[in-house]
Structure 1
Amino acid sequence: MKRNSSLNLLLVTILLITSSCKREELRYRQPNIVFILADDLGYAELGAYGQQKIETPNIDGLASNGIRFTDFYCGSPVCAPSRGVLLTGKHSGHAYVRINDEMGATKKNWDFREVIKDPGLEGQRPIPDTIVTIGELMQQAGYRTACVGKWGLGGPLTEGHPNKQGFDLFYGDMCQRQGHNYYNLHLWKNDQQVLLDNEYTPVWTPLDKGSDPHDPASYEKYTSNEYAPDLMLDESLRFIEQNKENPFFLYFAPILPHAPLQVPAGSEFLSYYEELFGEEEPYLGQKGYFPNRTPHATYAAMVSYLDMQVGKLIEKLKQEGLYENTVIMFTSDNGPTFNGGTDSPFFDSAKPFKSEWGWGKGFLREGGIRVPLIVSWPGVVAPGTQTGHPFAFWDVMPTLNEIAGLKNKVDTDGTSFLPTLKGEEQKQKEFLYWEFPMKAYSGQQAVRMGNWKGYRSEMNEGNLTIQLFNLKTDPQEQVDLAAEHPEIVQQIEGIMKKEHVRSEVHPFPAID
């Protein structure tokens, strides 16, 4: 009996020593990095940024445990170019992808049954394999890398494939068009199609003729069996579990809360918001995408669904003993949208900025490019802090490069904001620059320099006049001060000229 007690004591001692060694090893290894990129989430659609109608307790908790950036900007006001800026560290005057380039998408590209037969119909303009991405940098640093969610920078048969751009694992929608139905027919796992058990409903299918828009049964065809965001989250949780012994970089890019308005039937979030908001006027598809019986409740439910997914990622990291050594960054690819029944003004989605058409997604106004950034890093980032230093997507690459411990100099337009995360003195950026030549949005340029914002619009129609706004006193960009400060306008014009490099694939005739 005494011998058994001694043996048990020895085993317990060994386990304690082993556990202690593992904790020490985890403490000194490179931190894991989880970068979460929401889709079309507005600056003020989180409780931590002032949202009053939608509840986001998990993301708000992330802000309470970390740092909140008040003056952070995306790479571009629409999806693909913004993601390209993020992943390559080049602002839109130097980036390869500068617009949502569908490369001649036709009716056939939008028929998702045809796309399954011919993967060559999928994808936007691919980034060349010669361009170094964040994924490739993380691989150089010894990280296992994954991109889960929406890609948008090249189809499955191109050099823009995520597996060729630094990601050991890809799972999700390689083509942006596929994300226009949350009950799609397939996803991709690396180079393999993953067929889903869903009924096919073409994008923009209207209600059946003569159906009652107030009857829930009229909308049954807009939901099916497998909800893509659920599958994407499950794959992310698996990646964390399978790579817990090694440092990993998870780029989690869910399609939430981008239109169309779709949540699983019977969602507790949907029921909650339907009761909270009461009777609504149905959205009948006037601004594209699928109709929806309770558009406000559904959109709020989608944001809360995203928040729930963030909570599950955090919970998984804690379960695996990884949370204390993980950097979590949460942001959005651009400002809130104007279509699909989302109704940004109802939620005041970009407060204090304007968010309706012309001011949110698609435009270089503050509502279109100012986005939330929350960073949590236990033991490094002081909980409950915030910073007003202006940063943008192209600053993420040098920051992650430094966090990963790489000493190499990266070819980027960005500046590492690691000093800000550590609470140290941060070098001030002289300016931030954007350009957006996309025809559907008339061609735009913008510069932020201190509190000054210079903005040009309708450039494709020949307008080169620069408007000037003081963001400190006029965050909604209503009072043009250009005539009062010609010297500031001249400086901004010089930046616009200097930072634009002609693109062979996305020319900008107004300034080339």
Structure 2
Amino acid sequence: MHLILRLTACVVCCLLSLTACATSPPNIVVFLSDDHTLADSSLYGAIDLDTPNMRRVAEQGITFDRAFVASPSCAPSRAALLTGLMPARNGAEFNHARPKPAIKKLPAYLHDLGYEVVAFGKVGHYRQTTQYGFDIAKFFNYHEDQCVEEALKWLEARDSDKPLCLFVGTNWPHVPWPQAKDIRAKDIEIPYHHVRTPATRKARAKYYQAIHRMDRELGQVFDAAYAKLGDNTLFLHTSDHGAQWPFAKWNLYDEGIRTPMVAVWPGHIEKNVRTPAKVSWVDVLPTLVDVAGGETPDDLDGRSFLPVLAGKAETHRDLIFATHSGDGKHNDFASRTVRGDRFKYIRNLESDHVFTSHVTNVVADSPYWPSWVEKAKTDDHAAAVVHRYQHRVPEELYDLASDPKELRNLVDDPAYASVLDEMRHSLDEWMAEQNDQGN
């Protein structure tokens, strides 16, 4: 009888242990790249640039084909990620701006659920990372490129029973780009909407080298996460916006706001799948809190896409909204966009301004730009590209099904008048809801 009781107690104990294990909160690891245009990776179709670790991670989970940031510049984008609120509501509209101190941020939500929340590298906008409430925030200054190595050391040495949420923010492929050691410039495909010059090809090779560095670091963090934390770990990789090339960073074209996003969670996310679900960076906060077993207020702009991760939903958002306000003296050019499945509308609120950016103003980081301006003096295509970059009309409408590069503005085409009116109305309503003053 005593033996039976002991065996029964042992079985009950084992079952309770298994139940606790099954319901224990998962660890979360988020790897953020910096200034990476989605199309510049083999995972998203690049034929002249291999990103093997992005593909390897994607094979273990889900790839989002239509993930978007809230803003195509660093501080507003990252503030939206860490608050679940769009720029007009969180207060970080301009680059280098900070979200309002009183707003609850992601670390606080996860602290409520018993997590340790740690940031290595560029997670917030550089030193702003320290103002988000992370338990640890290190190596967040401009190009402290040891941040990934130090994150790996810290993770390996960690000894804690708390669930962990670890953010690792590489500085790559943000400028300044390194010398091209593994890239042959002659093999590079120059995008049609860029200007083909030797300086462009050389700069693009260096940019690709920076992507190689990012991809290598992604693989290192991915491997270390599962080696240390085990399979009950959600791993998320994404980027804050497009790269420092014309029509990408600081722009509301898809090259600026559409971002890579890959998620892995063994046993919860099916392997090697892609989803067309439209998600926004403001959705990341409620998703991570949902994964951790918590809830977020209904008045956040973000909504959890955990059903998409779990394969229980194929859609998430009908419309994507994004904003750009400016980046100090380099560009002061407020614009807003709404994007559906097929059509995209951009409103340029300061179209009387000449569009400038670090591309046009900081030659050290964008040495190819003077060659574009020089070629524009004698080449019609170059002249058209330079003019289009610096001179914007008040409204732009694109049919993404037939014009994915957003080169043919349909605003004046009467065949699309009803679509234009509908998109205008959607943006007007959204800006009113956001109390967006168009700054």
Give the shorter-chain TM-score range. Answer: 0.7 to 0.9
Within the alignment, does 1:248 sit opposite 2:164 as a pair?
Answer: yes
**8 A Cα contact 1:26 1:325, kept in partner:** no
Alignment match of 2:234 (pick from 302, 310, 327):
327
- Partner residue, 1:81: 76
- Among candidates 222, 239, 261, match of residue 373 of structure 1: 261
1:311 counterpart residue number = 219
Separation in structure 2 between the aligned mates of residue 453 and residue 243 of structure 1, nearest angstrom: 49
**2:227 maps to amino acid:** Q
Q: Which runs of 5+ in 1 are unaligned?
A: 1-17, 102-124, 183-227, 264-269, 281-290, 339-356
Report the Cα distance in structure 2 between the residues aligned to 1:457 and 1:252, rounded to whole angstroms.
Answer: 34
- Write the mapping of 1:380-459 to structure 2, written as runs, cut at 5 A: 380-426=268-314, 428-438=316-326, 440=331, 442-457=333-348, 459=350
**Number of the residue aligned with 2:182:** 272
Q: CA deviation at 1:138?
A: 1.2
Using the TM superposition, give the Cα deviation of residue 251 of structure 1 relative to its aligned residue in structure 2, in angstroms. 1.5
> 1:93 touches 1:433 (CA, 8 Å); kept in 2?
no
CA root-mean-square deviation: 3.2
**Residues 69/503 of structure 1: CA separation in 2 closer, same or farther (3 Å cut):** closer
**Runs of 4+ residues over 6 Å off in structure 1:** 18-24, 291-294
Q: Does residue 238 of structure 1 match 2:210?
A: no
Q: Distance in 1 between matches of 2:168 and 2:304?
A: 21
Residue 301 of structure 1, CA deviation: 2.6
Q: Deviations over 1:149-183 (max 9, x none)?
A: 1145585xxxx562x4231010122xxxx52xx4x
Give secondary structure in 2 for the equivalent of 1:390. Answer: strand
Q: Which residue of 2 aligns with 1:56?
A: 51
SS at match of 2:82: helix
Could you say if the C-alpha distance between residues 330 and 417 of structure 1 is closer, same or farther in structure 2, counting changes exceeding 3 Å? same
- Distance in 1, matches of 2:207 and 2:17, equals 43
Gaps of 5+ in 2: 1-12, 189-198, 354-391
- Alpha-carbon spacing, 1:301–1:27, altered in 2? closer, same or farther (3 Å): farther
- C-alpha separation in 2, matches of 1:389 and 1:272: 35
Report what 2:136 is aligned to: 169
Distance 1:92 1:152 in 2: 14
Aligned equivalent of 1:39: 34
Contact 2:69 2:77 in 1 (8 A): yes
Match of 2:248 in 1: 360
Counterpart mapping for 1:125-136 below 5 A: 125-136=97-108
Quote the offset at 1:130 in angstroms: 0.6
Deviation at 1:97, TM superposition (A): 0.4
Show the counterpart of 2:438. 508
The answer as to whether partners of 1:93 and 1:501 remain within 8 angstroms in 2 is no
- Secondary structure in structure 2 of the residue aligned to 1:170: strand
Report the CA distance shift for 1:420/1:362 in structure 2 as closer, same or farther (over 3 A).
Answer: same
Who is 1:115 aligned against?
none
- SS at 2:146 equivalent: helix
Residue of 147, 161, 177 corresponding to 1:261: 177
Are the structure 2 counterparts of residues 460 and 410 from structure 1 closer, same or farther at C-alpha, using a change threshold of 3 Å?
same
Of the structure 1 ranges 291-300 and 243-252, higher mean CA displacement relative to structure 2 is found in: 291-300
Does the Cα contact within 8 Å between 2:278 and 2:315 map onto a contact in 1?
no
Instruction: Measure how far apart 1:297 and its partner are.
Output: 4.3
- Residues 254 and 22 (structure 1), Cα distance of their counterparts in 2 relative to 1, 3 Å cut: farther
Q: Could you tell me which amino acid in structure 2 is paired with residue 448 of structure 1?
A: R
Does the 8 Å contact 2:252/2:337 carry over to 1? yes
Q: Is the 8 A contact 1:314 1:323 kept in 2?
A: no
1:205 matched to which residue of 2? Answer: none
CA–CA separation in structure 1 for the residues paired with 2:289 and 2:221 = 23
Aligned-pair CA distance for 1:294: 6.2
Letter in 2 for 1:508: G
Q: Give the SS at the match of 1:438.
A: strand
1:68 aligned to which of 57, 63, 78: 63
Question: Hey, what does 1:229 align to over in structure 2?
Answer: 145
What amino acid maps onto 2:166 in structure 1? L
Distance 2:419 2:434 in 1: 27
- Inter-partner Cα distance in structure 2 for 1:382 and 1:392: 21
1:257, distance to aligned residue in structure 2 (A): 1.0
The counterpart of 2:396, out of the listed 467, 482, 491, is: 467
Q: Which stretch shifts more, 35-44 or 474-483?
A: 474-483
Which of 110, 117, 120 is matched with 1:145 structurally? 117
Aligned ranges for residues 201-216 of structure 1 at < 5 Å? Answer: none
Do 1:237 and 1:313's aligned partners in 2 also have CA atoms closer than 8 Å?
no
- Structure 2 distance, partners of 1:243, 1:426, is 39
TM-score where L is the length of structure 2: 0.76
Question: How far did 1:25 drift?
Answer: 5.1
Q: TM-score, normalised by structure 1?
A: 0.66
